[in-house]
Amino acid sequence: MTLPTTPFGTTGMDITRVGFGAWAVGGAEHEFGWGAQDDEESVAAIRYAVESGVNWIDTAAVYGRGHSEEIVARALADIGEAHRPYVFTKCGMVWDSDPAGPPARVGAPDSIRREVDASLRRLDIDRIDLYQLHWPPRDETPVEDAVATLHELRTEGKIRSVGVSNFNVGLLERAASVGGVDALQPPFSAMKRGVAADILPYCAKHNIGVIVYSPMQSGLLTGSWSAQRSADLPSNDWRSGSPDFTGESLHRNLALVDALRTVAKRHDTTVASVAIAWTLAFDGVTGAIVGGRRPSQVDGWIGAATLTLTTDDLDDIEVAIDRLQVGSGPSRPWG
């Protein structure tokens, strides 16, 4: 299958509006794990997404402490060059021998160089299509030094494009002083809308590609979540400790899902596809990263790649967000 594509900022790549997110396939053995995961199902899910037309995969070294990257390599091993998706990964989250301990946010040039070589080995590729600094550094390395190192890696041919994740406008401005970035990866969903106020307009103005993560808010906006599923989450699933998945917040979030369900029925599609298409309706958003732990989950969101919400749809979602007082930030696309 093929899906429509759109230019991805200044990367030179044209990407599908949805990409496969490989966070959950990293498994449970890290601080933000998603519980036990079957590797064979992970491989099958990635391959099915590619067969369904998705042309990019987003992972990170820290997902499963390298395990997610290894799973991506396994999934792509038998896919011919003509059908291979772009591979995006991240650096700057360094872990030690304690699998349960929090990773350190590091931007030191020598660390980034070690990390890129390790990711290339795990992914079994010669060049990473988009290499992203996962979080702003906390090791006293100036953001400028970290971004400059990414530019050096591009000159050396180890990466194709320079990206960052979880940066605000001020940090993007600082990155611009040393060559800027091709792409940004921020969190964005109908529940978490803060980036729509300033970051998305900034990226649109400066032609920075944007791939948003957690557009289904880690499962809450799929249409299949329930209070019982929250109660049944194992302790090694990070969501079990998230306030979004408990109490009054969970009640409001599930009420928002009911509003999305009404829109989904109009289009004969899924709630998940509507939730993702809502993020894609914002100017500046190039694509959305969507996870999957098994092939059947891909069927639940692949429709977002071709779904365009109407003015009435956006009006109804805006009314629901405002009535339920879910999250903060703009409750509909501008313009």
Which of 48, 63, 86, 213 does the annotation list as catalytic? Answer: 63
Q: Is 6 a member of any domain?
A: no
Domain-located, residue 250: yes
Inside any domain, residue 334? no
Tell me the whole-structure pTM to 2 decimals.
0.92
Residue 226 belongs to some domain of the structure? yes
Task: Give the integer Cα–Cα distance in Å for 72 and 56.
Answer: 11
Q: What is the pLDDT of residue 154?
A: 98
Nearest to 289 by CA among 40, 56, 11: 56
Residue 211 lies in a domain: yes
What is the predicted pLDDT for the residue at 82?
A: 85
- What's the domain range around 150? 14-324
Q: Is residue 315 part of a domain?
A: yes
pLDDT at position 30 is 54
Structure token digits, residue 7: 């230019």
CATH of the domain at 68: 3.20.20.100
Output the pLDDT for position 219: 75
Residues 332 and 281: their CA atoms lie apart, in Å, by 9
How many folded domains does the chain comprise? Answer: 1
* 131 is an active site residue: no
Let me know if residue 112 belongs to a domain.
yes
> What pLDDT was estimated at residue 228?
73
Q: What is the pLDDT along the chain (335 residues), one digit of tens a residue?
A: 789 999 999 999 999 999 999 988 876 555 565 556 789 999 999 999 999 999 999 999 999 889 999 999 999 999 988 889 999 999 999 987 665 678 999 999 999 999 999 999 999 999 999 999 999 999 999 999 999 999 999 999 999 999 999 999 999 999 999 999 999 999 999 989 999 999 999 999 999 999 999 998 877 888 767 667 777 777 777 677 777 777 777 777 888 888 999 999 999 999 999 999 999 999 999 999 998 889 999 999 999 999 999 999 999 999 999 998 888 899 999 75
Q: Where are the alpha helices (DSSP H) in 268-305?
A: 271-280, 295-301
Q: Which of 297, 187, 188, 192 is nearest to 243 (CA)?
A: 192
Which stretch of DSSP H or E encloses residue 130? strand 130-133
Q: Is residue 329 part of a domain?
A: no
Q: What is the pLDDT of residue 250?
A: 76
